[in-house]
């Protein structure tokens, strides 16, 4: 191959899409087992490589030259074959610096806690130092020579201003996990998670829920890739292009989730929105009926609401790990916090709000089969719909509402 990415597990990498969107070269993903790394690197049968977990440190002894910044950091994520001479660089540094600067949080004189002890943690330390951070502490599950344990972090560094996660904890498909409990830190000003899949990790969702600025690493990934492309070809890329690519990748990899009362128009609007945006439409209630082979009223009657809610959570867990979907959820899906979290990991939630006077009771909706039940449900659930949504859209008509939902998605 000419250009590509090497690492141990690359199944969910976005690097191919990012690099090939520049139109300069083809780009391949090449998973390597640990015992394959050295022979591949020294073969020199490539023009340029990106390097990811767990090889950013291991490739260094195999190179002919290492850029001073990469040598200082102690990690290489980009290799350029210069007429048979292998030169290593660290473009993660530029990507992470751009990501943190884009957050616009105060770093001068701050105290930072870095989670993880691998190559990316070294990059994070160098970036934070360059941004004037006063004190930097590393933490890992087991601690180590230059790191403390998480328990020590809780005990001695609860005053951290910034937390940067460089571990893979919370990465797809294990999206319910997080490396640390933010509730133990009393004065956080910002949280950075270098994971980019899902688009919002459990750690980032926890931070946002507390009103703390927080980001995942997609913009970092794009910025480091464009810096690598410049090293590969000698041609710089405008920062404007980075914004375009980030927006394009994000919309292609995320799901659009519609919530709201039974009869609010989620399915009708969802079908139209999916067609307009090039997404695949799916309906959680329809999937449950398909799997059970009976109607929802029959499920309620024969096995109870609790059984139905468990089925609903199973379906949502599966859909939340996919991408490019427009998901219409059942009216009670937001009642479980775990459902909202899972849908939020890789999706943006839009509450379709329809006046309860316009919600028509039907026999196929066990909890909304008469006017009084609908009014009671609306009043009970309204605040939950609002709090769990990224955007609230009033249903004032199918076409107008479709337009509003599409506009939100296209201008995220």
- How many other C-beta atoms lie within 10 A of the C-beta of residue 186? 8
Q: Which two tokens stand for residue 240?
A: 């404007």
90 alpha-carbon distance from chain centroid: 23
Task: State the greatest distance between any 2 C-alpha atoms of the chain, in Å, as a whole number.
Answer: 77
Torsion 179-182-185-191 (CA) sign: positive
Which of 56, 253, 266, 272 is an active site residue? 56
Contact 209, 201 (CB under 8 A): no
According to DSSP, the residues that pair with 137 across neighbouring strands are 113
Task: Please compute, for residue 111, the number of CA atoms within 13 A of its CA located in the half-sphere on the CB side.
Answer: 12
B/e letters for 222-234, b = 16+ CB within 10 Å, e = fewer, are bbbbbbbbebbbe
Is 56 one of the catalytic residues?
Answer: yes
SS3 138: strand
- How many other C-beta atoms lie within 10 A of the C-beta of residue 333? 24
Q: Which two tokens stand for residue 81?
A: 């074959």
Separation of alpha carbons 411 and 295, rounded Å: 38
Nearest to 93 by CA among 191, 245, 223: 223
* CA separation, residue 340 to residues 174, 189, 378 (Å): 16, 25, 18
Contact 275, 344 (CB under 8 A): no
Backbone angles phi, psi at 7, to 5 degrees: 180, 180
Contact 401, 351 (CB under 8 A): no
Separation of alpha carbons 299 and 137, rounded Å: 53
Separation of alpha carbons 165 and 194, rounded Å: 6
Contact 96, 160 (CB under 8 A): no
Known catalytic residues? 56
């Amino acid at each position: 191959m000419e250009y590509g990415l090497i690492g141990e597990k690359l199944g969910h990498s976005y690097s191919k899409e990012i690099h090939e969107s520049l139109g300069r070269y083809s780009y391949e993903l090449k998973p390597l087992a640990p015992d394959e790394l050295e022979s591949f690197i020294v073969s020199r049968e490539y023009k340029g490589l990106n390097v990811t977990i767990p090889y950013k440190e291991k490739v260094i002894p195999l190179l002919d030259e290492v850029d001073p910044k990469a040598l200082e950091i102690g990690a290489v994520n980009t290799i350029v074959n210069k007429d048979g001479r292998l030169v290593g660089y660290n473009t993660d540094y530029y990507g992470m610096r751009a990501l943190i600067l884009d957050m616009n949080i105060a770093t001068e004189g701050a105290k930072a806690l870095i989670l993880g002890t691998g190559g990316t943690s070294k990059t994070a330390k160098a970036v934070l130092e360059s941004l004037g951070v006063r004190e930097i502490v590393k933490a890992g599950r087991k601690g180590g020579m230059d790191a403390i344990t998480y328990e020590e972090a809780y005990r001695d560094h609860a005053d951290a201003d910034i937390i940067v996660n460089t571990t893979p904890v919370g990465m797809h498909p294990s999206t319910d996990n997080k490396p640390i409990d933010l509730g133990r830190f009393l004065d956080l000003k910002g949280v950075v998670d270098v994971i980019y899949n899902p688009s919002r990790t459990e750690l980032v969702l926890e931070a946002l829920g507390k009103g703390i600025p927080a980001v995942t690493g997609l913009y970092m990934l794009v910025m480091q890739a464009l810096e690598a492309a410049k090293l590969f070809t000698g041609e710089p890329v405008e920062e404007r292009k980075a914004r375009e690519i980030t927006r394009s990748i994000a919309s292609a990899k995320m799901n659009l989730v519609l919530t709201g009362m039974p009869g609010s128009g989620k399915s009708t609007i969802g079908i139209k929105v999916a067609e307009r945006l090039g997404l695949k439409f799916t309906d959680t209630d329809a999937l449950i009926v398909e799997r059970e082979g009976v109607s929802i009223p029959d499920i309620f009657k024969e096995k109870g609401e609790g059984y139905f809610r468990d089925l609903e959570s199973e379906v949502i867990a599966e859909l939340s790990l996919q991408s490019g979907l427009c998901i219409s959820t059942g009216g009670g899906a937001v009642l479980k916090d775990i459902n909202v979290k899972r849908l939020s990991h890789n999706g943006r939630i839009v509450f379709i709000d329809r006046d309860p006077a316009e919600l028509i009771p039907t026999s196929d909706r066990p909890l909304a089969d008469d006017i009084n039940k609908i009014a009671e449900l609306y009043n009970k659930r309204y605040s939950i719909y609002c709090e769990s949504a990224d955007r609230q859209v009033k249903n004032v008509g199918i076409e107008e509402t479709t337009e509003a939902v599409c506009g939100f998605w296209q201008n995220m």
